[in-house]
Chains A and B, each alone.
Chain A
Amino acid sequence: MRTLTLVALTLTAAFLFRAALDFPAWGDPASPAGLHVSRFFIERSYDDARTPNLVTATLADYRSYDTMFETVVVFCAALACFFIIRAAREACVANVFHYRHAPTGLVLTLRRGCPLPRLRGRFEQIDSEWTPRSVILETVSRGMIPFLQLFAIYVLAHGHYSPGGGFQAGVIFGASYILLAVSHDLRTLTDHVAERTMHLLAAAGVSLYVGIGALALWAGMQFMDYGWMTLAFGMDGPGAHSLGILLVELGVALTVCASLTTIFKLVSSEGTIMEGL
């Protein structure tokens, strides 16, 4: 199996290097991109999509097919991570659970029992490598997380005018969840957003992106032509493209945020999502 993987990797690398030879030289003014494509984008993008940020217009409108599969790649990364290291819930890998009695500091250790007992009273479930909760860290992160998430939404919504967009917004939003898990513990994160919800959000992002593109087919246009919104919502062409860019970026942000958080949860807890870091 390893030999097969090695052969496949070497072949792919060889093909990639061979293909890279056919690229135009670095900064070649006579390359196709430099001759007419860039000029077309620069001259037309504002009239076509009413988006002052040229990068956003190119990424999410002219080259939205490319960006769609970039989103799928992120989704597949999370999916692969899930299939490789997520342990079956029935297996109950950690198998040792610690409960700490808050007033006395006494720690109960349970060595079996997959349906975790809900201990009443002032017991809290703790990690096996327990560190006392740091008040400073918890307070500061609880104050910072809402602003991080607000900033992520700002980056998403302001992508038409300034650097930003779906990928960046998704990363910032995912980082806020990771900050929650690092400053409290992993269970706090899974209590707030269930694992299942995260997976559904990741899939919903890709579906939103593909759905926006596929609805154009239903309106008799080409795939990923946001012009169908002129028919559906009664807006002008550039406005429809602008709205299409925003919706598509929303899909990207959902997928990136959920995939990033899922990968973090799986890797930090060795696939059990019980405790970690």
Chain B
Amino acid sequence: MIETAALALLCLGWFLFFAGTVGILRMPDVYTRLHTAGKLDTLGSFALLLGLAVLQSRSLTLPDILVSLKIMLVLVFVSVANPTATHALVDAGLRSGLEPWMRSPAAPGPAPREELP
């Protein structure tokens, strides 16, 4: 039962990371790429680490539960640091004058792609 739940969480994490990677490759500019990377990678690592913690603590012995707690600490750290880093990157992009990608009404079609810095 516990293993099934852990497996489901791991698969969810794998799917979210996959979707995030597809987003990074397919999105047109820095901001939209950071949008997918920031959200999906955070949630993906959240699900992966939670799955690992659940899998580790299935024996319900003290050492295993302690390892699970350490994994949970990593989880908290990632879920605080990752959105902040994304915020800092977007902030730096806006301040340095990088225009967000827009589909202009006059000329439909994608604007010239901007390379990642």
Partners in one complex: yes
Contact call A131/B80, Cβ cutoff below 8 A = no
CB interface residues, B 60-117, toward A, < 8 Å = 77, 80-81, 84, 87-88, 91, 95
Contact call A137/B77, Cβ cutoff below 8 A = no
Render A117-145 as a binary contact track against B, CB cut-off 8 A, 1 for contact.
00000000000000100101100110110
Contact call B80/A136, Cβ cutoff below 8 A = no
Contact call A144/B80, Cβ cutoff below 8 A = yes
**Complex Cα spacing A137 to B87, Å:** 8
Render A201-212 as a binary contact track against B, CB cut-off 8 A, 1 for contact.
000000000000
**Complex Cα spacing A147 to B87, Å:** 21
Contact call B77/A147, Cβ cutoff below 8 A = yes
Contact call A140/B81, Cβ cutoff below 8 A = yes
Q: Which residues of B contact A (CB under 8 A)?
A: 77, 80-81, 84, 87-88, 91, 95
- What are 18 pairs between A and B in contact, CB < 8 Å? A131-B95, A134-B87, A134-B88, A134-B91, A136-B84, A136-B87, A137-B84, A137-B87, A137-B88, A140-B80, A140-B81, A140-B84, A141-B84, A143-B80, A144-B77, A144-B80, A144-B81, A147-B77
**Complex Cα spacing A131 to B77, Å:** 26
Known contacts A143-B80, A144-B77, A147-B77, then 15 further A-B pairs from the complex at CB < 8 Å, ordered by chain A residue: A131-B95, A134-B87, A134-B88, A134-B91, A136-B84, A136-B87, A137-B84, A137-B87, A137-B88, A140-B80, A140-B81, A140-B84, A141-B84, A144-B80, A144-B81
Which B residues lie within 8 Å of A134 (CB)?
87-88, 91
**Complex Cα spacing A136 to B87, Å:** 9
**Complex Cα spacing A134 to B88, Å:** 9
**Complex Cα spacing A134 to B85, Å:** 12
**Complex Cα spacing A143 to B80, Å:** 10
Which A residues lie within 8 Å of B91 (CB)?
134
Which A residues lie within 8 Å of B77 (CB)?
144, 147
Counting from the closest, the 8 A-B pairs by CB-CB distance are A140-B84, A136-B87, A137-B88, A131-B95, A140-B80, A136-B84, A134-B91, A137-B84
**Complex Cα spacing A140 to B79, Å:** 11
